[in-house]
Amino acid sequence: MSKQESRRDAIKKVATMALASSALSSLATRVEAHESKMDTKVKGNINHSVCAWCYNGISLDDLCKASKEYGIASIDLVDPKDFDIVKKHGLTVGMVASINKDWGISKGWNRIEHHDRLVEYYQYLIDETAKAGFTNLICFSGDRKGLDDEQGLKNCAEGLKKVMSYAENKKVTLVMELLNSKVNHKDYQCDHTAWGVELAKAIGSERFKLLYDIYHMQIMEGDVIHTIRDSQQYIAHYHTGGVPGRNEIDETQELYYPAIMKAIHDTGFKGFVAQEFVPKHSDKLASLKQAINICDI
């Protein structure tokens, strides 16, 4: 064997060993996260939640059990019909869902013709949220469909003001989610923090705030920590997700979540940070546990 061949073989062996070591390290981390799930003690600096829709194949009941073990206090985006399941486990619903066959992300408050029916629907949701003892109810701007941002903001403010006194009396906060319109929700109107902040100012109620989705806003505008610091008074809730791909928030993606969590904590935020990534690993609950460990600063 020539010296060149020997050198080539040596390089291949080193590369193979490095890959194997990396795989074993990743596996060890995930096994450790899974095995340490019982009696997890979180630090208390971040109030943890998790979005139910990300765990298809796992019942809400089982997700609640795992959440309780991991130190998660809340389940996000739960319908009123499922409130009792969450409460049975001593958990809360950090953000109540508001999507049905008629209303969703693409069809929202930015269209005047929707207002009357949305007011009726949201009064029902506000009642159910308050009756259960929860406080946050999600809402959406809807898609532009040719509507300019100034008019869309005006229409959203006009419509939401029709339910704000009702929400205030019931001590329920309507929370509009910031979503990206580049990858996941093409044409969605509330796709920049500045637009959402202007809407909050136009409505002028402490019972209207924003859901700052870190994944979505990293895609649209970046500058996450600076934006969180500047807009903190208008934010009621946070969602996570790995960029790109919306998968695990580990070293495979571009955001460094411990620093983001520290920035959130430093603002004095007392609400929930909810995991909203879609696990790509087969052990979804191990991925959830790993995310809680990453965010529990």
Domain span at residue 2 reads 1-35
**Cβ–Cβ < 8 Å for 225, 260:** yes
155, 286: one domain: yes
60, 1: one domain: no
* CA-wise closest residue to 177 among 226, 136, 230, 122: 136
Residue carrying the six token digits 């208008």: 234
24, 73: one domain: no
55, 82: one domain: yes
**Cβ–Cβ < 8 Å for 287, 248:** yes
* CA atoms of 62 and 292, how far apart (whole Å): 17
209, 284: one domain: yes
CATH at 263:
3.20.20.150
Tally of domains in the chain: 2
**Cβ–Cβ < 8 Å for 156, 141:** yes
20, 46: one domain: no
* CA atoms of 125 and 79, how far apart (whole Å): 9
pTM for the complete prediction? 0.87
* CA atoms of 261 and 168, how far apart (whole Å): 29
- Name residue 184's amino acid: N
* CA atoms of 254 and 249, how far apart (whole Å): 9
144, 226: one domain: yes
Structure tokens at 201: 């100012």
129, 151: one domain: yes
Structure tokens at 241: 């997700």
**Cβ–Cβ < 8 Å for 147, 104:** no
**Cβ–Cβ < 8 Å for 51, 77:** yes
148, 9: one domain: no
Cα–Cα distances in angstroms (integers) from residue 282 to residues 52, 254, 278, in the given order: 17, 22, 11
Q: What is the pLDDT along the chain (297 residues), one digit of tens a residue?
A: 555 555 556 555 545 554 444 444 444 445 454 444 444 689 999 999 999 999 999 999 999 999 999 999 999 999 999 999 999 999 999 999 999 878 889 999 999 999 999 999 999 999 999 999 999 999 999 999 999 999 999 999 999 999 999 999 999 999 999 999 999 999 999 999 999 999 999 999 999 999 999 999 999 999 999 999 999 999 999 999 999 999 999 999 999 999 999 999 999 999 999 999 999 999 999 999 999 999 999
179, 239: one domain: yes
Report strand pairing: 173-177 vs 136-139: parallel
202, 261: one domain: yes
204, 155: one domain: yes
How many CA atoms lie within 13 Å of 188's alpha carbon, on the beta-carbon side?
25
